[in-house]
């Protein structure tokens, strides 16, 4: 069965026929991207010096109220491309020296991505493939990617579902995320590196939100007790205040003392494989300029 005719790629389970209408993510049956370029501000093992070959997909099935990429996630900015063109873009990024292909917000486009990856690999794509996701997807979606993805880069946004419901309308986020990360780890195993560049494994990202340091601690505790140092964590303080936020508590920056407290908590737990960020990361200057770079052939 063609999943896009009754789409259930994520827990929204819209079940729409995407050849005729659009569901929560606002995507049709077409692959839609807004930019394809080398990026240098990811975790060191992902970007390193040569850069990560990053493809930004349009649309999002998560819909966080504080999203920094509203132009593409909610306003659907981008351009429709073919499966063949997506494969070409991956190969072009490899030719530019990218150390990996980084698929950003890929969930609504998984069916096309799978076809493009198979085509690109037949045509000479050899660098690791990174699946950069909110983690809010159905388990079968991740199972379909088995053997095609080398590195999973999932978010773990919330531990308490009351925050997931309030800020993302994701009613079962914690349960889904735990299940999804478990499947990811079963597929790719413990992190492996070559010359400082990640080749296989799972890096779980967590963006701290204002006032939710205790929720952050619960996430760190769960991940370390479950996976120990077999996965890497990325603890981010780059929360950026966007315009027209509907909740007053989100209209403030992360407090340095809260971030420092959480880092100390991670150390005391025994976590050693964790990326942390310096100050001055919460700036709009780090938001990508979505300008269709790399979408069309030059």
Residue pLDDT, tens place only, 121-131: 999 999 999 99
Judged by phi (left if over 0) then psi (alpha if -120 to 50, else beta), residue 83 lies in alpha
pLDDT digits (tens, 9 = 90+) for 214-273: 999 999 999 999 999 999 999 999 999 999 999 999 999 999 999 999 999 999 999 999
In the predicted structure, residue 1 carries a pLDDT above the cut 70:
no
Coil, helix or strand at residue 232: strand
Q: What is the CATH number of domain 3-286?
A: 3.20.20.70
Tell me the pLDDT tens digit for each residue of 133-192: 999 999 999 999 999 999 999 999 999 999 999 999 999 999 999 999 999 999 999 999
Average pLDDT of the residues of the chain: 96
Q: Is 254 helix (H, G, I), strand (E, B) or coil?
A: coil
Cα separation, 97 vs 50, in Å, equals 6
How many CB atoms sit inside 10 A of residue 170's CB?
Answer: 26
- Residue 48 in contact with residue 196, Cβ under 8 Å? yes
> What is the pLDDT averaged over residues 197-219?
98
The token pair that represents 297 in the structure block: 């052939």
Residue 115, C-beta contacts closer than 8 angstroms, at least 6 positions apart:
83
For residues 136 and 177, is the Cβ–Cβ distance under 8 A? yes
Question: What would the pLDDT profile of 6-16 be if each residue is shown by its tens digit?
Answer: 999 999 999 99
* C-alpha span between 143 and 3 (Å, rounded): 14
Percent of the chain past pLDDT 70, that is, above it, reads 100
């Amino acid at each position: 069965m063609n999943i896009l005719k009754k789409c259930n790629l994520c827990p929204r389970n819209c079940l729409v026929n995407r050849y005729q209408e659009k569901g929560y993510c606002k995507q049709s049956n077409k692959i839609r991207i807004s930019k394809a370029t080398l990026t240098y501000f990811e975790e060191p093992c992902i970007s390193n010096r040569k850069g990560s070959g990053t493809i930004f997909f349009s649309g999002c099935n998560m819909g966080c109220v504080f999203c920094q990429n509203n132009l593409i996630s909610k306003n659907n900015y981008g351009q429709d491309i073919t499966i063949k063109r997506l494969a070409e873009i991956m190969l072009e990024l490899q030719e530019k020296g990218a150390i990996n292909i980084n698929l950003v917000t890929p969930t609504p486009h998984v069916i096309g991505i799978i076809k493009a990856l198979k085509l690109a690999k037949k045509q000479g794509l050899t660098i690791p493939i990174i699946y950069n996701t909110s983690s809010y997807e159905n388990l079968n979606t991740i199972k379909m990617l088995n053997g095609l993805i080398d590195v999973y880069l999932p978010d773990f946004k919330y531990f308490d579902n009351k925050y997931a419901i309030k800020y993302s309308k994701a009613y079962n986020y914690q349960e889904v995320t735990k299940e999804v990360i478990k499947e990811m780890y079963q597929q790719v195993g413990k992190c492996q590196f070559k010359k400082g560049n990640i080749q296989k494994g799972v890096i779980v990202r967590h963006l701290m939100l204002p006032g939710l340091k205790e929720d952050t601690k619960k996430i760190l505790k769960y991940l370390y007790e479950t996976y120990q140092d077999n996965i890497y964590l990325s603890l981010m303080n780059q929360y950026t205040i966007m315009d027209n936020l509907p909740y007053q508590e989100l209209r403030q920056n992360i407090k340095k003392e809260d971030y420092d407290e959480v880092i100390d908590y991670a150390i005391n737990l025994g976590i050693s494989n964790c990326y942390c960020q310096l100050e001055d990361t919460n700036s709009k200057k780090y938001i990508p300029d979505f300008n269709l770079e790399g979408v069309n052939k030059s």
